[in-house]
Amino acid sequence: MTATLHTLPDHPALWRGDGVAAPQLPGIPTGFSALDVVLPGGGWPVGALTEVFAAREGVGELTLLLPALARLAREMRWIAFVAPPYLPYAPALAAAGMVLARLLVVRPASDAEKLWATRQVLASNACNMVLAWLDTTDASALRRLQLATEQSSAAAVLFRPARLAHQASPAALKLYLERGDGRLAVHVLKRRGARLAGPLLIDVPRPLPTDVVARDLSAQPAAAGISAWYA
């Protein structure tokens, strides 16, 4: 009796709550080992949706993706940006190691077209990672997107407004990003596996404070102040 009870946790049909579900495909390594260990598949999920919510634009939400993008680029893979909110700045992307020759920037006009374009990119199997900026709250559209992702061998990362972070969605992974302690705090809102106790603090590369840290600008008279600044 006792022996049976002891061996019970090892029974193959029993799923233990502290584990991480094994995905069918290995993920794309994020380039941040702290993040890789908590993600099923050891990286950005392939064949499943990932949702990223940033507390504010500029916390380092795209920087978090850059090592994976650079890695795919080195492997001659294609990457697509669907409906980026601003101009993806070529010099900065190139400096981060992305190969722009294999980047596709798609700018659909309407929400429906954004979803359509994302699905097309996934269905084509031409790109290995799709980053899409979607504002839609349409749950069935997201489900269709998840289905399209399951059919493809690509990783799909959706950037969505932070206010939608706690809405139910078919995504396999949901991350909420904010700054904390001078680092990027990654809250794993949902993953295939047990919940994490707290946020992960990750050092994403940031433009370092260089030469001059701003002094009291107000003290200087407007036009003359500029020449004095460099004098």
Positions that interact with other proteins (CB under 8 A): 54-63, 66, 76, 78, 84-96, 100-101, 103-109, 113, 116-117, 120-121, 124-127, 178-179, 182, 206-214, 217-218, 222-223, 225-226, 229-230
Dihedral of the alpha carbons of 79, 80, 84, 89, in degrees to the nearest 10: 40
In terms of CB distance, is 14 or 109 closer to other proteins? 109
- Residue located via tokens 């990783």: 155
To other proteins, the closest distance from the beta carbon of 226 in angstroms equals: 5
To other proteins, the closest distance from the beta carbon of 163 in angstroms equals: 14
In terms of CB distance, is 40 or 176 closer to other proteins? 176
To other proteins, the closest distance from the beta carbon of 156 in angstroms equals: 15
Sort strands 129-133 and 103-106 into parallel, antiparallel or unpaired. Answer: unpaired
SS3 at position 66: helix
In terms of CB distance, is 40 or 53 closer to other proteins? 53
Query: Which phi and psi (to 5°) does residue 7 adopt?
Result: -85, -10
CA distance 116 to 145: 9
To other proteins, the closest distance from the beta carbon of 153 in angstroms equals: 12
In terms of CB distance, is 170 or 199 closer to other proteins? 199
What residues have CB less than 8 Å from 165, skipping those under 6 apart? 53, 174, 176, 189
| Rama region for 159: left / alpha / beta (φ>0; ψ in -120 to 50; rest) | beta
To other proteins, the closest distance from the beta carbon of 167 in angstroms equals: 21
Sort strands 155-160 and 49-54 into parallel, antiparallel or unpaired. Answer: parallel
Question: Which token pair is 3?
Answer: 């022996």
In terms of CB distance, is 125 or 151 closer to other proteins? 125
